[in-house]
Amino acid sequence: MKTFCSATVALLLCLLTAESRAADLLKNLGGLLTTNAAGTTALTGDEMTKGLKEALAKGAKSAITNLGKPDGFLKNLDVKIPLPETLKKVESAARLAGQGQLVDDFTVSMNRAAEQAVPAGLSILADSITKMSITDAQAILKGAPDAATQYFKRNSEAALAEKFRPIIAKATDAVGVTQKYKELTGKFGEAQALTSLFGSKKSKASSGGALDVDGYVTGRAMDGLFKMIAAEEKSIRANPAARTTEILQKVFAAPAK
């Protein structure tokens, strides 16, 4: 009887050890499988990563398509690039003098430059998508409503700025931003002081630095792009109708673990 009991205890210990090892093995898979509330397999790591990559691609393509066309920035009040704060007094003087068209032309030219630059960002965003890992995908799925957009920012912001700036510089020159800028500051903003401060859109004054038009437009162009991507991400997360493929439906319908 004593021998039987010892054998039984040994068997139970073996079973428990085997179960523990199995649990450790599943844990060490790094969450490649997620489960729903009922305990059944809901989503594999590959599916999760594929779905989130598709969501990122969808958001990026939509944002670039909508922004990288005539009036993509100019007619969209959510992303329209306004006159810089440093030129607000100049704007007031110009409009009081009946020369508001100068201000309007300057604003249009900045937005046109952003519209021309944005399409060049597609390859950079695509590269960020291909580099996404399962760990990245898990963090995005469990993260904030704009977690995917923040992933884009972390992984592509510097490259986008480097890509956009020369395109914007060329575009601003082509549409006469420099000329309009000099007209504004020279004609309506205490000519000598502003000419000294803003003599060139790329100059830097010792009194604190001139307005860098190309840098300003580049920054606002990226802000607009990320804002549009965030809006698309929010739609996919919140609205089942925006999940236009089977994998998107599966990923965003599954509970995040």
Nearest to 233 by CA among 153, 148, 169: 148
- Residue 7 within any structural domain of the chain: no
- Residue 37 within any structural domain of the chain: no
Q: What is the pLDDT of residue 45?
A: 76
- Residue 235 within any structural domain of the chain: yes
Q: Give the tens place of pLDDT for each residue, 60-114.
A: 999 999 999 999 999 999 999 999 888 888 788 888 888 888 889 989 999 999 9
Which residues lie across from 43 on neighbouring strands?
A: 34
- Residue 29 within any structural domain of the chain: no
Mean pLDDT confidence for 126-135: 90
The domain in which residue 96 lies consists of: 47-253
Q: Give the tens place of pLDDT for each residue, 190-220.
A: 443 333 333 344 433 333 445 788 999 999 9
- Residue 25 within any structural domain of the chain: no
**Confidence class for position 7, pLDDT limits 50, 70, 90:** very low
Structurally, the chain folds into a number of domains equal to 1
* Two structure tokens written together for 205: 């004054």
- Residue 64 within any structural domain of the chain: yes
